[in-house]
Structure 1
Amino acid sequence: VDFEYTSWNDWGSGDIPVKTKDFEKLVLAGKDMVHLPIFLGAISFFHSIPGVESGTDGLNVTGCVLARIFNRKIKTWDHPEILEDNKQLKGKLPRADFPITVTHRVLGSSSTASITEYLNKVCPAEWPSTMVGSKIVWPADTDGCQGSSGVTTCLRQTEGAIGYLDSGHGHSEGLVEVELINRDGKYLSSKFAAAKGGIQSAAEEALNLGVIPGSADENFGDVKLLNMPGEFTWPIVALTYVYAKKDLSHFRSDGEKTLFVQFLKSLYDLDFVTQCEVFGFTIPPKSIRDLGLAGIDMLKLPDGSAEWIVETDTRPGVGQGDNVISFKRKSFSSLSISGISDDVAGVQDTVSELSANVNDLDLLVDNHFVTNGDDDRDDKIQTALVLGGISIAMWGIVGIMFLGNKLINI
């Protein structure tokens, strides 16, 4: 259907670049766009063979062995082609002919696109182009799993399974990663590669080899960071983009346009984005960040647009003005909520003090009646404890009402 390239969204983001045919149609229609590369992410394979951990004594595999596992030509972990590079497996497998269960994503995903393109690139005889894509027809005796979390569950529930995930997700779940051979003939994990700069080197090599265009407004449709050279380079790396049209007239106001541009710039500011490394993302090398920043400069803003600034250190006067994103300022609401936190601590201390008083009262009553031998001891103790409990409850209600009024007034 021809929608005449009407924008459904102000901008987009994803791990798969706009297809060449679609990019060319956009250019012919006068809808120039940019790909802004913002993050790198390794895609890897994980397994659940009992007793086989990650590391140098882990599971070593080549691209072709993986292809034959996933196309079901290799179905057991003691297959000669696997044992050739994994002699340590002989004494670790639970039994002879220990079966391999292949798990995969059931819906379209960029990780499926990446690993099928990789297998086709390194072993086309075993993995033809007809089995490449974000969603493919898998052999019937494989297990489909919903999303990355589903693949994780499949691996955990089935001994001897193998599947693929973005590495950050797999590592955060404590899954066991394979040691995959790279273009330079080195077996390594994505975690080891990342520690050696091997995720960034994939992007640097791709830019040097012309796989990544030199300008953000060129065609990225054929960009694939697969099996790039380098001693520690990880062979399957995904590049995450922001997609944006150069013409920002579809935004509702000039303020939205300039704020959007500032947001894009923040994606290349190390003060902002390094926190994303916690989730398994890798910050692109400077050469790629420079390409992205140059692409942002191609976006068309109205003449005289007020530029946003980021205040990291106090800038008297300027920091209190418009179009400022500040690390130094707090809203009245945030200050009020901070004060309420102190009030909550005070109420908790009061309740703790009252509880201690009730305990003391209990001991006092207990000692009194033991001394005097009063037959009504139990009833009177119970009465005292009830009165103490009511007192604590009333203080709690007062505290809740006090905090509630404060929240309403924020």
Structure 2
Amino acid sequence: MGIPLRVFYSNTSSPSAAASIASGAAAPAISGDLQFAISERPLTSAERANFTANAAVQGDSVHFPLFVNLYGLFYNVPGNRAKPLNITACLAARILVGEISDWTHPDFLDPNPTFVKATADSFRITVFMDSPTSGATMAVLSWLAAACPSVPVTYSTIRTDAVLVGGNMIAKLQATPFALGWAMAAVGRAASIPEFAVETGKAGQFLVTRSNNATAMYDKLAAVVPTTLTGDYSGVSVSALPAPGVAPILALTYLITRSSWNQSAAEAQRGEAVRALCRFFHTSGIAGSAADGFISEYGLLPLGDATLAAIAPAVSSAFVTLPSAVPYSFTDGNGDDVVSSTRSGFDVETYRDMLAQLSALRRTVGIGAARVMRGAGSSAASLFIWRVFSEMRARSTSPLHLVYRATGSGAGQSEVVAKASGYQAIVDFGISDTPMPDSSYADLTANAKIAMVHIPVLLAPMNFFVNIPEGVLPSRQLKMSPCTIAKIMQASGDWRVAGCWGDWKICTDGVRLRAALPPTCRPACICAVERPGSSIRVTAPYSRQADITFWNHSDIAADNGGFNLPGNPITVFYRQLSSGTTAVITAYLTAACPGWRLGSGSQLSSWPSSFRPTANSVNMSTSVAATPWAIGYMDAANGLDLNLLEVAVMNRDGNFVTTQTGDVPGAASALFKSDAWPKNPTQSFSAVSVLNQPGAATFPIVAMPFMFVRTDLTARGDAGALLQAFVTFMLDSYAQNVIAPAAGFSPLPAEVRQYTTERALPLLQIDTRAKMWTFESGSVLQSGAGSNDYVISSFAGSFENTNAASFADFFKAYSVLQNKANAVAANATNATSATNRSNLADVPANLRDKLDQLDKQIKILEAIAIAGICFGIVGLTLAIFSSCRIFVHSTLWGGLAGSGLVHPSSANPGSSSTVRRQKSTGNLSECGTGSLHGGAGGEI
């Protein structure tokens, strides 16, 4: 406006505003009471009668429609976020009055056949309600009265256990599972709280508020909303409009004032200001032609062009002022009585500019801020986890960051339970090669009352690998039964003292010791013979010796059809720290060999002391590769990458298989079809084992690493939504069928993945305020949404990942060839022969060509190096020859001790001997020798 206009507006409820204008507008010039009120409830007939009966009003009431407010029903039911739940007016009414109190009530499930029954102790509905004077409560009750009169609902008849939350409705819904409440639609949508699809005026049609058909709504409003502005509006309602596609919970907002403003010149001018305010609400900049006006920014809806046009003529006739009052015009200009669309107050413009800058700043910060997810656990699965996340990060339209610490399976379990920190876990997930044991599972779920799910990651075949020279075992095949392996890996009850052997005797300290020591045993092995009892006390270190200590043992020969290996001692490596690989291997030996005595677990203290410890999977494989005649256990990928010899173990059906010849996924399929697989993902998985499963070709030593995830991820914020997206991507076909085999693992069977995605993932409860991730498909790409934030694109990737995979394949093929060549050169007893690449079935043809080209380059470089060495030898020979010639000539020029020969440069002119020599014109090789005469004064 061109002149100052002060407006005092008190924020109160609609009923209070209507009551106040009805009782307090009688003498505005005297008491300073209300000039107008904004209310979603029109004046009741009684209030209007009281209003018009006041002598100071001297006219009628005016109900000027401003806009439509849209309300929605919202819920928080775990597992039912992806697809809205359907609800009718009568179903909602029965819930509010307490007739239906459970989400699994048959009448509720009938319109919701896809309802996901997440694991819970109770499905009881918690009802949150707003105050009786709130716009949302009035809109919901008005809708129920119009749409379901058969189930009367008033505020006083709502079930007594309903919780009054006031303005905290959205926050309470987000924090309370199995709850229901109502709020302004725009507020609920902005908070990403799940919204009911409410039945419209067309039976059987359900829709959420964002799907409201504005065109159909505008048509109905033009027929329902009166255009006189004066008169009794108490019976006007826009709830449950009988129109398909129109959201039913609507409320019409009015500016309520008086029609007569002719008591004084000041009042008349004030009346013109109120009339201008009404007109201003209907201008295109505020109402918009459809939903593009200023009010739409606050989630409100305009009345529609037809209704606005119908109301416009009544604005002039409904307001009565004095002829002296100056009306306000809505044109561009600088006059005092002009309301200009191109002019705005400085404070308003500054505020808008600040909002725009703040929005841009938030977006910039949001785009640049990395979404962080943290995990810990299995080192064997770490390569797969890192590569999956690397691929997902390359496809993401928003920055991502993963912190996964390969601390071992034990840490993956303990850091999720987090008992030491009061069950407050820092990590978002943990991974272990074995399921969580019952003790830890009960600690978390029973003691801390925290639900969790086991999510299978992949299949990790594990086996025993050996380093036996190829010349000794040219077939590169070695078979072992489970009990043969057990005898190599465990100690008998005998004790060995400092390498001395003899007959057994019981010492005074309780240790069995060989008493009759052989002559080679040094006296340092024992302290003394104590009496009485002739006991021997140990002073030197004693250790337990494995049952099989040499490669020529008869049990190994029997497994291999009588083939005898040389009698070299066996060097055994084991994992020293807590390890999922150790847990899997020892569990397998426990199940497959009755003679295994060391038990099972992630960390054993009973390994024979002659065994050598290793820290992790990589350390294990490199140690075996560097130690001839060694054996160790590891995941198959590590052993095969170093070209170690994989032991063919006997499976449950009696057949010898390796990870390359056996069926790895078959073990998981057999287990899944058995009763050992839990029907509920939140149950204990401690009895789940893929080890020693039946099947003619089934490989028996297979681990199924599990990811441990707490079901309630609401406190994780954006990390919870990211974790849900990561698990979805990890179980998808690309990660399982491309990344897993490339990393040396096997994919999960289809039925296991289906079980996880359909049964486990829906149980994860994500903060409704968190940004949810979407996976781009072809249709999304066509709609142009593929470059939005929080999208994982199936069309994206990274140059680094593609080239890294290519290089990894090449390096693997080259390593296989190089390791095989090195083994032949180092261990063969006969002359080595060139390696034939055609026998390497795991090397692709294109890589063999690259290897051939690389070999040619190496041979060229070798030839150049040999030529350089030859030239170097020749140069060194010439240098030695020249040095000798110099020495001979220098000797001829000078004199030796007692010979009378003196070097020319050392000749003393005053001495009795003189040298007369013509200056040489050539080099030393051109000098003549002449005759040599001895004696004083001799000449040359």
The separation in 2 between residues aligned to 1:182 and 1:18, in whole angstroms, is 26
Name the counterpart of 1:9: 427
The equivalent of 2:363 in structure 1 is none
Which of 139, 142, 157 aligns to 2:611? It is 142
User: Given the alignment, which residue of 731, 755, 767 partners 1:268?
Assistant: 731
Larger Rg: 2
* Alpha-carbon distance in 1 for matches of 2:635, 2:796: 37
1:153 match: 622
Q: 2:655 aligns with which of 167, 186, 204?
A: 186
Cα RMSD, aligned residues only:
2.6
Q: Deviations over 1:146-165 (max 9, x none)?
A: 32222223222322111111
Following superposition of structure 1 onto structure 2, how do residues 121-140 of structure 1 map, counting pairs within 5 Å? 121-125=591-595, 127-128=596-597, 130-137=598-605, 138-140=607-609
Deviations 1:84-127 (A, max 9, x none): 1224633xx4x4x22211111221211111111111112232x2
Q: Which residue does the alignment assign to 1:400?
A: none
Give the deviation of 1:272 after TM superposition: 3.4
- Structure 1 279/53 Cα, relative in aligned 2: closer, same or farther at 3 Å? farther
Q: Determine if contact 1:117/1:133 at 8 Å carries over to the other structure.
A: yes
* Equivalent residue number for residue 677 of structure 2: 212
Counterpart of 1:281 in structure 2 is 745
Sort the Cα spacing of 1:85 and 1:268 in 2 relative to 1 into closer, same or farther, 3 A. same
Structure 1 residues 305 and 328: alpha-carbon distance in aligned structure 2, compared to 1, 3 A threshold: same
- Residue of structure 1 in register with 2:456 after alignment: 37
Larger deviation: 205-214 or 36-45? Answer: 205-214
Deviation at 1:46, TM superposition (A): 0.6
Match of 1:106 in 2: 576
Query: Partner residue of 1:177?
Result: 646
Distance change (3 Å), C-alpha of 1:318 and 1:104: same
Instruction: Pick the aligned partner of 2:792 from 314, 317, 325.
Output: 325
Cα 1:105–1:304 change in 2 (3 A) is closer
Residues 54, 176 of structure 1: 8 Å contact kept: no
Q: CA deviation at 1:304?
A: 8.2
The verdict on how the C-alpha distance between 1:152 and 1:206 changes in structure 2, with shifts beyond 3 A counting, is: same
Residue type at the aligned position of 1:268: L
Residue number in structure 1 paired with 2:493? none
Specify the alignment match of 1:82 in structure 2: 556
The code of the aligned residue for 1:32 comes to: A
Gap regions ≥5 residues in structure 1: 335-410
Provide the rounded CA distance (Å) in 2 between the counterparts of 1:222 and 1:312: 39
What is the distance in 1 between the residues matched to 2:426 and 2:473? 44
Q: Secondary structure at the match of 2:695?
A: coil
The Cα offsets for residues 296-343 of structure 1, whole Å up to 9 and x where unpaired, read as: 111113458764222243333222334322244699xx9xxxxxxxxx
* Paired amino acid for 1:121: A
Deviation at residue 215 of structure 1 after TM alignment: 2.5
Comparing 69-78 with 174-183, greater Cα deviation is found at 69-78
Q: Secondary structure at the match of 1:222?
A: coil
Displacement after TM superposition at 1:267 (Å):
0.9
Contact 2:476 2:645 in 1 (8 A): no
1:129-176: per-residue Cα shift (whole Å, max 9, x none)? x43211112102212223222222322232211111100111111111
SS in structure 2 at match of 1:81: helix
Report the CA distance shift for 1:153/1:323 in structure 2 as closer, same or farther (over 3 A): closer
Is the CA contact 2:625–2:642 (under 8 Å) kept in the aligned structure 1? no
Read off the aligned partner of 1:22 and give its amino acid letter. S
Query: What does residue range 343-354 of structure 1 map to in structure 2 within 5 Å?
Result: none
Q: In the aligned structure 2, how far is the partner of 1:33 from the partner of 1:239?
A: 18
The superposition leaves residues 24-67 of structure 1 with CA deviations (integer Å, 9 ceiling, x where unpaired) of: 23222320000100211001011112227999761110000100
Question: How far did 1:16 drift?
Answer: 2.5
Q: Is the 8 A contact 1:48 1:162 kept in 2?
A: yes
Partners of 1:149 and 1:301 lie apart in 2 by: 37
- How much does 1:17 deviate? 1.9
Taking a change above 3 Å as real, the CA distance of residues 123 and 226 of structure 1, as seen in their structure-2 partners, is same
Amino acid at match of 2:603: K
Closer/same/farther in 2, CA of residues 280 and 55 from structure 1, 3 Å limit: farther
Structure-1 separation of matches of 2:474 and 2:649: 11
Q: Secondary structure at the match of 2:765?
A: coil
**Cα distance between partner residues in 2 of 1:297 and 1:56:** 51
- Cα-to-partner distance string for 1:214-247 (whole Å, 9 max, x where unaligned): 2221101222221100111111111112111111
Give the letter aligned to residue 104 of structure 1.
Y
Cα distance change on mapping 1:264 and 1:57 into 2, 3 Å: closer
Question: Quick one: which amino acid aligns to residue 278 of structure 1?
Answer: A
Counterpart secondary structure, 2:705: strand
SS of 1:180 mapped into structure 2: strand
Distance 1:6 1:278 in 2: 36
- Matched residues in 1 for 2:441 and 2:472: separation? 44
Identify if the C-alpha distance between structure 1 residues 121 and 53 changes in structure 2 by more than 3 Å, giving closer, same or farther. farther
Matched, 1:299 2:788: no
Q: Kindly tell me: are residues 44 and 139 of structure 1, through their superposed partners in 2, closer, same or farther at Cα, counting changes over 3 Å?
A: same
CA distance in 2, matches of 1:307, 1:239: 29
The aligned residue for residue 247 of structure 1 is 712
Q: Tell me the distance in 2 between the aligned counterparts of 1:279 and 1:55.
A: 28
TM-score, length-normalised on structure 1?
0.72
What SS does the corresponding residue of 1:131 show, helix, strand or coil? coil
Q: How far apart, CA to CA, are the structure 2 residues paired with 1:231 and 1:30?
A: 43
Length-normalised TM-score, structure 2:
0.33
- After superposition, the Cα gap between the structure-2 partners of 1:144 and 1:259, relative to the gap in structure 1 and judged at 3 Å, is closer
Contact 1:76 1:99 in 2 (8 A): yes
CA distance in 1, matches of 2:472, 2:653: 24
Q: What residue number does 1:395 align with?
A: none
Contact 1:178–1:189 at 8 Å: present in 2 too?
yes
CA contact (8 A) 1:41 1:282 kept: yes
Q: 1:53 to 1:211 in 2, by over 3 A?
A: farther
Q: Choose which of 445, 464, 485 in structure 2 pairs with 1:27.
A: 445
Cross-structure match for 2:867:
none
Any conservation in 2 of the 1:105–1:112 contact (CA below 8 Å)? yes
CA gap of 1:158–1:304, structure 2 versus 1, over 3 A, is closer
Aligned counterparts of 2:473 and 2:724: Cα–Cα separation in 1? 42
